[in-house]
Amino acid sequence: MKAAVIYKYGPPDVFRIEEIARPSVKSHEVLIKVHAASVNPVDWKQRQGWHRWFLIAHFPVVLGYDVSGIIEECGAGVKKFRKGDEVYTRLTRRFGGAFAEYAAASESTVAKKPASVTWEQAAAVPLAAITALQGLRDKCRVKRGEDVLIIGAAGGVGHFALQIAMNLGCRVTAVCSGRHEKMMTELKPFRFIDYIKHDFKSLPEKYDVIFDAAGVESFRTCSSLLKPGGRYLTTLPRPKLVMHKLISLFTPSKKVKTFLMKSNGDDLDALSKMITDDQLKIYIDSGFTLERIADAHVRAEEYSTEGKIIIKIRE
């Protein structure tokens, strides 16, 4: 099969398009004939070697976690799916393996692709939307009527978090650049703040939950915006967050929440229902062929995407 392979950490041009063997499937896994994949921040960070000290790479490596495609083969223990099913998933093998023509996925992480969306739209969903869902619903336990601030509301995780919070009955304020005003007009948050024109941290409003989907702020800079009992959530842990967690011990009415999403087919099914019911719109920033994966990573590192970056594996 054709795959984008790296033999060392480095810049985007470290990718090599090569023919390699298809992955073999274990009893509980399915082999997916990949139609589309998406680029997440974790992909280019792994390519650069950010995680080298705790996620050791045995090169060559195929990166990428999000895929949509057709099941080509089922392991002996697979019960829920069969060959020919159209599915999507967030891969759980080390480094994923999405940037290739075939990928192996655990049955428990796979869901049927909503019929109403394209392969590219489906590939945009798993990691980002599950992160938003688990962060808001499970980690912060948001309640109907709560005030939620989404920082980075136009990005991959952010634009899903905005919509999911609204679907959960929250009053959502979206923070992003004014160049995403059209997107915000379409998604209709309670309030939109262009951070270039307005310093949202100086405004008088208070929030029950602040979801820093872009990882650009901190509990220290945002704590004054939280109501008593408020929660600050980020999906991008940084060393200084350890200090902020300690600081939060002295403000017991406000909490720092961090977490890593867990691939879950049931959560994807819940998201599929939102998509089918037109409660979750999927925004595609840009699309690239597998041969142009280096260009896709360059775009991802610009920190200015509107929605998700897609790799088209097959036409």
| Six-digit token string for 88 | 């999507």
Give 89's strand partners: 67, 110
22-27: long-range pairs with CB below 8 Å, 24+: 22/101, 22/102, 23/93, 23/97, 23/102, 23/103, 23/104, 24/104, 25/73, 25/74, 25/75, 25/104, 26/75, 26/104, 27/75, 27/76, 27/77, 27/78
Alpha carbon distance 288, 170 (integer Å):
35
Q: How far apart are CA 43 and CA 152, in angstroms?
A: 19
Q: What pLDDT is stored for residue 73 in this prediction? A: 98
Neighbours of 280 (CB within 10 A): 24
Residue 240: the pLDDT is 52
User: How crowded is residue 71: how many other Cβ atoms within 10 Å of its Cβ?
Assistant: 20
The angle at the Cα of 90, spanning 137 to 69, to the nearest 5 degrees, equals: 130
Q: Where are the beta strands (DSSP E) in 182-225?
A: 191-194, 207-212
Distance CA 106, CA 264 (A): 10
pLDDT in tens, the chain (315 residues): 999 999 999 999 999 999 999 999 999 999 999 999 999 999 999 999 998 888 889 999 999 999 999 999 999 999 999 999 999 999 999 999 999 999 999 999 999 999 999 999 999 999 999 999 999 999 999 999 999 999 999 999 999 999 999 999 999 999 999 999 999 999 999 999 999 999 999 999 999 999 999 888 888 889 999 999 999 998 765 555 555 555 555 566 678 887 789 999 999 999 999 999 999 999 999 999 999 999 999 999 998 899 999 999 997
The per-residue pLDDT for 286 is: 98
At 29, is the secondary structure helix, strand, or coil? strand
Domains located in the chain, CATH noted: 2-124+284-312 (3.90.180.10), 128-258 (3.40.50.720)
